[in-house]
Amino acid sequence: MQLSNDDRRFLDLAIEQARIGWDEGGIPIGAALVHRGEVLAVGRNQRVQMGSVIRHGETDCLENAGRLPASVYRESVLYTTLSPCYMCAGTATLYEIPRIVIGENRSFQESEAWLRSNGKELVIADDATCIALMDRMMTERPELWAEDIGVEASDLEHRA
Amino acid sequence: MQLSNDDRRFLDLAIEQARIGWDEGGIPIGAALVHRGEVLAVGRNQRVQMGSVIRHGETDCLENAGRLPASVYRESVLYTTLSPCYMCAGTATLYEIPRIVIGENRSFQESEAWLRSNGKELVIADDATCIALMDRMMTERPELWAEDIGVEASDLEHRA
């Protein structure tokens, strides 16, 4: 989908986070949280960097944003380079974030039907840079990717 | 439900975490992750103590357990003093934790139907200590509880 100028700009912040993460030796997935046009926080997957099992791009971003009133989440947009896993989808549901702009969903797509059934607005950018970042990781570090989505590396073939 | 001796013992570890959290000025919800009878980690809600918006009892516990193979999660049991929110339910779904023992679900119940539809085994203890801990918090710190489940304090009445 062709993004608006604002959506493009904020998704690019998430992509920048994904690139930083990859350069750090981590999983190249990034996110940004935006409230009425103001960037509240950015974040990136921290599995390698912090040894974290709960800091995906989206959750790291929310953690970096800190404690916020419910009313702020409800008027915010979450930008993420990759379609959310169930943990991140559940987090967006908990905080009632109404809109999620997704860089790409070719590499991974688990929660979108569920999110839509919860009333979320999802925008899929099908962004070539996001796809390329994931392709490179899946080729060079498949075991890391498998770990991040809770499967064994040997399971990846069955999911492809 | 009457718990087995093992389930009782492990749930008590989660309850101990909830008590510690309350004594720290935090939200009294705790968890334990157990793999084939071995306690991998315990954890507790860290909203107040760490200013965290993603460390609920269950997610803090998983974070404390560190990076684990997918096969370990799939043979583990998650003990939690309170019925999981969607973030924590989504995390258990991501890592395919098959069984969740829940201290109580009178104070909060959002994700159980969804978890069951995902094939999870849920055991509801209906534990008086867990209920009393939540009752006390909801009476003394309703604004904190509202924040933790992504609602405004004024919304709580509508949910009761």
Residue type, position B70, single letter: A
Structure tokens at A127: 């962004």
Q: Using alpha carbons, select from B78, B69, B76, B6 the residue that is nearest to residue B42.
A: B78
The per-residue pLDDT for range B47-59, each reduced to its tens digit, is 999 999 999 999 9
Spatial strand order of the sheet with B99-104 comes to B38-44, B30-35, B76-82, B99-104, B121-124
Per-residue pLDDT, A158: 60
- Give the pLDDT band of residue B158 (cuts 50, 70, 90): low
pLDDT tens digits for range A46-82? 999 999 999 999 999 999 999 999 999 999 999 999 9
Which pLDDT score, from 0 to 100, does residue B153 have? 87
State the pairing for strand pair A38-44/B30-35. unpaired
Please give the residue of chain A at the shortest CA–CA distance from B58. A54
Closest CA to B29 of B156, B145, B160, B151: B145
In the predicted model, what is the mean pLDDT of residues A1-20?
96
Q: Which two tokens stand for residue B6?
A: 């093992």
Chain A interface residues (partner B, CB cutoff 8 A): 47, 51-55, 59, 62-63, 65-71, 73, 85-91, 93-96, 111, 146-147, 149-152, 155
pLDDT of residue A1: 74
User: At residue B105, does pLDDT exceed 90?
Assistant: yes
Catalytic residues of A: 58
Average pLDDT, rounded, for chain A: 96
B86: chain A residues, CB-CB within 8 Å: 90-91, 93-94
Contact B111, B86 (CB under 8 A): yes
What are the tokens at B8?
């009782």
pLDDT digits (tens, 9 = 90+) for A113-132: 999 999 999 999 999 999 99
**By the 8 A CB rule, do B60 and A136 touch?**
no
pLDDT for the residue B154? 85
Cα(A121)–Cα(A112) distance, integer angstroms: 10
Measured CA to CA, the distance from residue B17 to residue B81 in angstroms comes to: 9
Query: What is the pLDDT, as a whole number, of residue B156?
Result: 81
- B98 vs B116: CA distance, rounded Å: 10
Q: Has B143 been annotated as catalytic?
A: no
Q: What pLDDT, in 10s, does the model give residues A22-36?
A: 999 999 999 999 999
Region A132-152: mean pLDDT is 95
Determine the pLDDT at residue A13. 98
Tell me: pLDDT of A159 over 80.
no
Q: What confidence score (pLDDT) does residue A155 get?
A: 82
Grouping H, G, I as helix, E, B as strand and the rest as coil, residue A23 is helix
Task: Out of B66, B85, B95, name the one closest to residue A94 (CB).
Answer: B85
Q: Is the pLDDT at A19 greater than 90, yes or no? A: yes
In what side-by-side order are the strands of the sheet with A121-124? A38-44, A30-35, A76-82, A99-104, A121-124
Say whether pTM exceeds 0.90. yes
- Closest by CA to B49, choosing from B31, B72, B24, is B24
DSSP code for A16 = H
| Contact (CB, 8 A) for A29 and A78 | no
- pLDDT tens, position by position, B110-130: 999 999 999 999 999 999 999
Model confidence band, residue A153 (pLDDT cutoffs 50, 70, 90): confident
Asked if residue B90 lies in contact with residue A87, where contact means CB atoms within 8 angstroms, the answer is yes
User: Looking at chain B, how many residues does it have?
Assistant: 160
For the stretch B20-65, pLDDT in tens is 999 999 999 999 999 999 999 999 999 999 999 999 999 999 999 9
Q: Report CB contact under 8 Å: A54, B151.
A: no
Contacts of B67 in chain A (CB under 8 A): 47, 51, 53, 147
DSSP class of residue A151? -
